[in-house]
Amino acid sequence: MKNLIIIGRAFYASALFVYGLQQLYFGTFRDVFFSVYQQHLPFLNILSYIFGIYLMTTGVLILMPNSGKKASLILGGVFMALFLGTHITYELISEPNKLYHLGLWTTPLKELALAGGAFVVAHSFGTHPGAKSVFLEKLAPYGNLFFLYTITSYGISHIIYAPYLVGNVPSWMANHLFWVMLTGVTLTAGGIAIILGIRIRIIALFLSLQIFLWVWLVHVPGTLSTSLTANRGNLLASAFDALAFSGIALLIAITMKKQQWVDDIEKWGEKEQPAKYPAEE
């Protein structure tokens, strides 16, 4: 079990390292991290380099037992701040299209998933006795919900936009539409089940395996079919997005015995029950 936890963290950390290299090479923020109106920022190159170095440093720190928890908590806070401060504001104020088009949220939800993944990584280190409980640490047990919301949304997107996604299925596989629809159903059902605390371990393990297979069946061939720097390196980054998501799901399967919000509701319900008195003789 310990080795699987290390593998899950390593998947996430390796993605951070690739993101950092992408920032340094292109000198601009990836759209996942900062919404598309970033072009108006002053000193964009400098900010991109700093953020790239930060991501790479955090990726290394996550692999270290003594610093991993704190580094991942801070990263979760950074990703969440960027999601709320740039993506949400853009979608609500500047987005020229209709907000209810789920396809518009593909990129913002990816950052939400990475934020949730950072909290899942932090939670995988456990709680140290006597440690101060800060806001981000209290948020960590609920971080999986951010990741699972994205997974569920992506599943629904696969069903809604299935005709546009068939080209992503490997050519040697028959009936491309079937595989896209199957992926949509499994992502949606798996995400909802884990959110509700149903069979967390087995479903999260299957989810991790499914996404890991995508890395090799879909993303790696797609990345190798063109230059690694094509489209600002986003094909390569997307492959590592999938690897990070696989690692997050693996950590959920191994380290999360129950959904914290479900446990909170159950405890709240127990407190609300009236006191029981012995029957009068």
Which residues contact residue 280 at a Cβ distance below 8 angstroms, ignoring those fewer than 6 apart? none
Q: Checking phi first, is residue 175 left (phi over 0); if not, alpha (psi -120 to 50) or beta? A: left
Question: Is 274 among the domain residues?
Answer: no
Separation between Cα atoms, residue 58 and residue 74, nearest integer Å: 9
| Whether the model pTM is above 0.95 | no
pLDDT computed for residue 280 by the predictor: 45
Contact 161, 136 (CB under 8 A): no
Question: Is 278 among the domain residues?
Answer: no
* 3-21 average pLDDT score: 96
Domain that holds residue 62: 2-264
Q: What is the 3-state secondary structure (H, E, C) of 46-105?
A: HHHHHHHHHHHHHHHHHCCCCCHHHHHHHHHHHHHHHHHHHHHHHHHHHCCCCCCCHHHH
Over the stretch 27-50, which tens digit does the pLDDT of each residue have? 888 889 988 776 677 788 899 999
Angle at the Cα of 115 from the Cα atoms of 113 and 119, rounded to 5 degrees:
110
Burial level of 124, CB count in 10 A (0-12/13-18/19+)?
buried
Question: Is 270 among the domain residues?
Answer: no
In the chain, the number of structural domains is: 1
Separation between Cα atoms, residue 22 and residue 16, nearest integer Å: 10
Question: Is 271 among the domain residues?
Answer: no
Question: Is 226 among the domain residues?
Answer: yes
Over the stretch 116-132, which tens digit does the pLDDT of each residue have? 999 999 999 987 644 55
Round the CA-based radius of gyration of the chain to a whole number and report it.
20
Question: Please, what is the average pLDDT of the chain?
Answer: 88
